[in-house]
Amino acid sequence: MDFSYTEEQQALQDSLRRFLAKEYDFEKRRQISRSAAGYSKEHWRTLAEMGVLGLGIPEAHGGMNGSPVDTMLVMESFGRALVLEPYLPTVVLCGGLVRDAGTEAQQAALLPAIAMGELLMAFAHYEQGSRYALEHVATTAKREGNGYVLNGAKSLVLSGLQAGKLLVSARTAGGARDRAGVSLFLVDREAPGVSAQGYVTQDGGRAAEVKLADVRVGADALLGLEGGALPVIERAVDLAIAALCAEAVGAMDALLETTREYLKTRKQFGTPIGRFQVLQHRMADMLIAIEQARSMAMVAAVKVQSEDAAERRRMVSSAKALVGQSARYVGQQAVQLHGGMGVTDELAAAHLFKRLTVINATFGDADHHLAQVSDSLLVA
């Protein structure tokens, strides 16, 4: 058992925290959120230079060959600063899918571009009505000549409007909820037949509804095995969930800290409100919830690497369930302890609360993942 970080990991975390402390205070973040793109191209370039964008990418393709534990450190720092840059869709999800399922040629074409910050990608998977079921894919891909024709609609595609390329899941066989028959395709965002309706998300990020109408792609657009993409998708989503757990821990740390400051400075009845025991105990419970969540973020980061898919999924779901519950409690109580100020747009607290709410509902909420753990008890 070893919970320590390597020197490289420490150094990465330090430099990232320094960068964010300098460039990503709350007001700057607000400006980025309100900009048309919804992220800062300059910051994206800086992250590339720091090696953060190539963290999970093999060295042969210009990356650092890092592990999910490295990703955890990055996401935790991002969570503290409420970073809006599309790291999760481009690097964790799409970078992970191309790394794990792509051909050598696909890897060579995409991974260095991701690592260098030249390419944004989006994972177009969920559809309206799927809720959190990953196997629900009604979008179709029909073989035609040498390639495929894609038709369907994708929902809540993170940075779906900004991305240069999309990874689209589509059915090459089977019914809308069959595990077999799902395939992944690499599609240009600007390809004829692709349209994206972008919008802001509740946390100030960006997503899109993406429509595919007779979109033609070549045989080389297929990523991984035809009809065999679901296990690959599940693993990629588990990696994303592990990353989100770490981000949530960072956001909760920041929220506890800013609430603690508030309790020490806000005075009512002639005394700092932090003197009221009922608020002290609330803070103690928040701290406990965060420590539990921190442990589970570590579980997720380590166990997401497990070769045993059932164990991997059970552990990642355990983490997402507990982190989601903690995020809800810490978020709600932090707002409550800020009084009226907590429900305004003015303080970071409300924005951290909103981001935590969004994280809970991304790739399955606490109840959804608790159900996975609970169902696993039936399999003796």
Ligand X SMILES: Cc1cc2nc3c(=O)[nH]c(=O)nc-3n(C[C@H](O)[C@H](O)[C@H](O)COP(=O)(O)OP(=O)(O)OC[C@H]3O[C@@H](n4cnc5c(N)ncnc54)[C@H](O)[C@@H]3O)c2cc1C
Interface residues toward ligand X, by CB under 6 A: 266, 268-269, 273, 276, 278-279, 336-337, 339-340, 343
Residue 103 or 344 having the CB closest to other proteins: 344
Interaction partner, residue 199 (other proteins, ligand X, none; CB < 5-8 Å by kind): other proteins
Measure the CA–CA gap between 229 and 161, rounded to whole angstroms: 24
For residue 143, state whether it binds other proteins (rule: CB under 8 A). Answer: no
Measure the CA–CA gap between 259 and 253, rounded to whole angstroms: 10
Q: Which stretch binds other proteins (CB under 8 A): 56-64, 100-108, 127-135, 212-220?
A: 127-135
Radius of gyration of the chain (CA): 21
Residue 9 or 376 having the CB closest to other proteins: 376
On the CB side of 240, CA atoms within 13 Å amount to 26
Residue 145 or 270 having the CB closest to ligand X: 270
Q: Is 49 exposed, middle or buried (0-12, 13-18, 19+ CB in 10 A)?
A: exposed
Residue 99 or 338 having the CB closest to other proteins: 338
Q: Which stretch binds other proteins (CB under 8 A): 37-45, 75-83, 309-317, 361-369?
A: 361-369
3-class SS string, 213-230: EEEEECHHHEECCCCECH
Binding mask 179-198 for other proteins (x = CB under 8 A): ------------------x-
Interaction partner, residue 126 (ligand X, other proteins, none; CB < 5-8 Å by kind): other proteins
Interaction partner, residue 65 (other proteins, ligand X, none; CB < 5-8 Å by kind): none
DSSP string, 227-252: TB-HHHHHHHHHHHHHHHHHHHHHHH
The only residue of 1, 36, 105, 278 in contact with other proteins, by rule CB under 8 A: 278
Beta carbon of residue 121, minimum distance to other proteins (angstroms, whole number): 20
Answer for the pair 204, 39: CB distance below 8 angstroms, yes or no.
Answer: no
Answer for the pair 89, 123: CB distance below 8 angstroms, yes or no.
Answer: yes
